[in-house]
Amino acid sequence: MPERPTSWRTFLRAHWGAIAGADFFTIEVWTLRGLVTYYTVFVIDLATRRVQIAGSTPHPDEAFMRQVGRTLTVADEGVLVGHGVLICDRDAKWSASVRAQLGEAGIRVVRTPYQAPNANAYAERFVRSIKYECLNRVIPFGERHLRRTIAEFVEHYHRERNHQGLANELIEDAPAVEHVGRIRRRQRLGGLLNYYDRAA
């Protein structure tokens, strides 16, 4: 009797804690040459939802992607250390040589089927979040402004934004505070991102 193929959900559950997803998002950046499209690659740990930005560039060529591969797998510091599987789509930027480089570091690259965004749903959800909550409301003035904007959102995403997929908890726990005192609004990016806590 032929063995039944493993479902995608079963695969994810069996490897939970060792799987990360990777994807790109784009944004138009105002430069001296006018608007330039920047590509940002990130990795998300599926179990914790922690996100690491791996790099941004207007030219996501082979050299850039190989540098991303080195950044992700560097010993003791790379975001993929401790992971065995990386889910990515079939974008040509994830070339055979880039996949081989990740394979040499012990990372099994699983490419999603064509036109199946739900196969990398956690990464797709992060793209939707950063675009809707932040980047669609900003025109970065240069690469430095872009990097600062993305860094501010990622900090907000980890420390100040509740996540429904984590039982409405924060990714990084806030210090314990007493449940008394006035609630105050805090802001990032000039009020684009808001969060609330109790005054000390």
Which sequence spans correspond to the domains of the chain?
Answer: 8-142
What pTM, to 2 d.p., does this model score? 0.86
Q: How many CB atoms lie within 10 A of CB 121?
A: 17
pLDDT at 93: 95
Q: Give the model confidence (pLDDT) of 67-122 as tens digits.
A: 999 999 987 777 888 899 999 999 999 999 999 999 999 999 999 988 887 889 99
Architecture of domain 8-142: 2-Layer Sandwich (3.30)
As a whole number of angstroms, the distance between CA 53 and CA 41 comes to 6
Laid out side by side, the sheet with 19-31 consists of 51-57, 34-45, 19-31, 85-88, 108-111
pLDDT at 163: 87
The DSSP code for 200 is -
Instruction: Region of 40 please: left (phi>0), alpha (psi -120 to 50) or beta.
Output: beta
Parts of the chain with a pLDDT under 70:
1-4, 174-180, 199-200
Nearest residue to 101 via CA among 122, 124, 78, 129: 78
Q: Residue 119 is encoded by which pair of tokens?
A: 């196969």
pLDDT at 61: 97
